[in-house]
Amino acid sequence: MKRAFWLIPVLVLAGDGGRITLKVRSRVEAFKGSGQWQAVELGYPLPLDATAAVICDMWDKHWCRGANERVGGLVTKMEPFLERLRASGVLIIHAPSETMEFYKESAPRRAVLGFSKVAPPEPLGLTDPPLPVDASDGGCDTPGDSSYKAWKRQHAGLTIGPNDLISDNGQEIYNVLSLRGIKHLLVMGVHTNMCILNRTFAIRQMTKWGIRCILVRDLTDAMYDPKDKPYVSHEAGTGLVVEHIEKYWAPSTLSVDVLRALR
């Protein structure tokens, strides 16, 4: 008899078909219109054979020095994490936007183009209040940096496995997910208030198409400068955007919790 694991704080293997119970965090407004949101944690049954991970815009170089340095730090945590996901049968999709020319002859890129087109469903009519941080000036927190296309490929510190895929196109990635029966998407990379939400392969669009996204919140970052509203530290600004995502778009988890569940 299968035991129920919903709403338990301990992460355990659920015991059949590569299903794990993953601790995820969301936000609820118990009294609608009150503006009072509460973090809630629950155990979510995650089937590994119906899960993929997408790595958003982890480029080899960013125009903002601060962002570039933080990406380097994320790489050191992300690489072993992806290794473990890969070994557990989770599909890894690399999505370094605007670099497909670099990968056009690679097998992981060509493999994506071999999938037939699948028409997405009518998008869910979800609303999205304004973001809690102001990054209208680009969000760079290192003075003197100005925007230009600095990237040519994904960061070399992230391995692209022979069975991984490469795409920066939401329709292409939806084709893959649909034809492989993948319903869940672990989302990581940069930046929470920009590409993580807005790319065609990322949280807003995939959620509207019915894919259940989960943000890996310790493997992401925001483009935010503390000199702008709401005048908090960079780390606090990233945290506010994560909370926004948890309220309106998708729950989040921690990489350590995923790894603990996989063990």
Q: What is the pLDDT of residue 184?
A: 98
Three-state SS for 104-147 is: CCCHHHHHHHCCCCCCCCCCCCCCCCCCCCCCCCCCCCCCCCCC
Q: Whole-prediction pTM value?
A: 0.93
CB 238 within 8 Å of CB 224: yes
Exposure string over 236-250, b if 16+ CB within 10 A, otherwise e: ebbbbbbbbbbbbbb
Q: What is the pLDDT of residue 17?
A: 53
115-120-125 Cα angle (round to 5): 155
Identify each DSSP E strand in 122-211 by its residue range. Answer: 165-166, 184-190
For 118-155, what is each residue's pLDDT tens digit? 999 999 999 889 999 999 999 999 999 999 999 999 99
CB 189 within 8 Å of CB 57: yes
Three-state SS for 59-118 is: ECCCCCHHHHHHHHHHHHHHHHHHHHHHHCCCEEEEECCCCHHHHCCCHHHHHHHCCCCC
For 42-64, what is each residue's pLDDT tens digit? 999 999 999 999 999 999 999 99
The percentage of residues in the chain with a pLDDT greater than 90, rounded to a whole number, is 92
For the chain, helix, strand, coil in percent to 5 are 30, 20, 50
For 232-258, what is each residue's pLDDT tens digit? 999 999 999 999 999 999 999 999 999
Q: What is the CA radius of gyration of the chain?
A: 18
**Position 3 confidence tier, pLDDT thresholds 50, 70, 90:** very low
Closest by CA to 6, choosing from 47, 41, 48, is 41
The torsion defined by the Cα of 46, 183, 251 and 92, in degrees rounded to 10, comes to 80
Q: What is the pLDDT of residue 222?
A: 98
**Position 16 confidence tier, pLDDT thresholds 50, 70, 90:** very low
CATH class for the domain made up of 48-252: alpha beta
For 152-174, what is each residue's pLDDT tens digit? 999 999 999 999 999 999 999 99
Joined tokens for residue 106: 């690679």
Q: What is the pLDDT of residue 199?
A: 98
Cα–Cα distance for residue pair 211/195, rounded to 1 Å: 17
Neighbours of 36 (CB within 10 A): 9
CB 185 within 8 Å of CB 156: no
Mean pLDDT of the chain: 93
Distance of CA 112 to the CA centre of its chain: 19
